[in-house]
Chains A and B, each alone.
Chain A
């Protein structure tokens, strides 16, 4: 017994049945079931109505000059230099967003890493801070020596 409300693949059976894609044996079994099952009958009716309504929407015919325009585009493309063809492809508005999204993210990530690497290179910025303590030390040493000179007692002359 195939019951749409109990069968695990109920949705698939319903779609396939209304599309005429269900295996004939399975379809026959299902038809037997819907004679007795009100819920399934209702679902099949609703799906068939959708199917019929969708059939109402017939598209307009393709323009007669479609092929001509396409061949003109192909000819134009073949006449342009390879590098320009490549540029058009990568800058085409139909593909840019999807194609470039990961590329932009990668470029930004790379730039951030590069900046971080440059900032952290020992010897570029840290070098300055290493030199300064040395200068301070020399100055301190000189000052200390001067101070020592001041503190050194001036030799007194013989008492008269």
Chain B
């Protein structure tokens, strides 16, 4: 019920943006900025690039405001643009340009600050190793499988939404997800 209300709210806000209400655009940005940039970050694994692509997503939404028709879920449309941009970026081979890691030094030469959420250093290190293994395992997946699994696991999109975002059928999405999870079960088995 809450989800339905949220979907309707998104469409309503976008209709208002179409009518020239920039406050509604700010609200949409506030609601979806995080999920979109996080999805892009997990896709391209580079913070700066994910934010750049995220800006492009919202810029395209803003440019398309005049022609917006609430025929599909707003989030589906948003993730379709984000997926398209991320897959293009990966396909064009821009991945090699820079790869950030939480354990590596940042651009200004300072060690990246990791929030102190765990009680001791040892646990923090174990957590860091696990996180890196997860990142590597996801990075090794084919781009479409990666996109599907990220939308399913982290964004909790429905099969039909993922299918629209990837421009394929629902059964193709289920097949992509099954293969991706099967690969991850094998690659991450040692972490269990």
Which residues of chain B are near A53, meaning CB under 8 Å?
A: 130, 133-134, 184, 188, 191-192
Q: Is the CB of B181 within 8 A of A49?
A: no
A56 to B185, CA, bound (A): 15
Q: Is the CB of B51 within 8 A of A63?
A: yes
Closest A residue, CB atoms, query B26? A67
Number of interface residues of B (CB under 8 A): 45
Given the known interface contacts A47-B181, A56-B134, the answer about A74 and B62 at a Cβ–Cβ threshold of 8 Å is yes
Shortest distance between the CB of A88 and any CB in chain B (Å): 11
**Chain A interface, DSSP helix/strand/loop, else mixed:** helix
Closest A residue, CB atoms, query B37? A62
Q: Is the CB of A77 within 8 A of B42?
A: no
Of the candidates B47, B153, B188, which one forms a contact with A60 in the assembled complex, judged by CB atoms under 8 Å apart? B47
B77 at the interface (CB under 8 A from A): no
Q: Is the CB of A19 within 8 A of B29?
A: no
Can you pick out 6 interface pairs between chain A and chain B where the beta carbons lie within 8 Å of each other? A19-B153, A49-B189, A53-B130, A57-B42, A59-B41, A97-B92
Interface residues of A (CB under 8 A from B): 11-12, 15, 19, 45-47, 49-51, 53-54, 56-63, 66-67, 69-70, 73-74, 77, 89, 93-95, 97-98
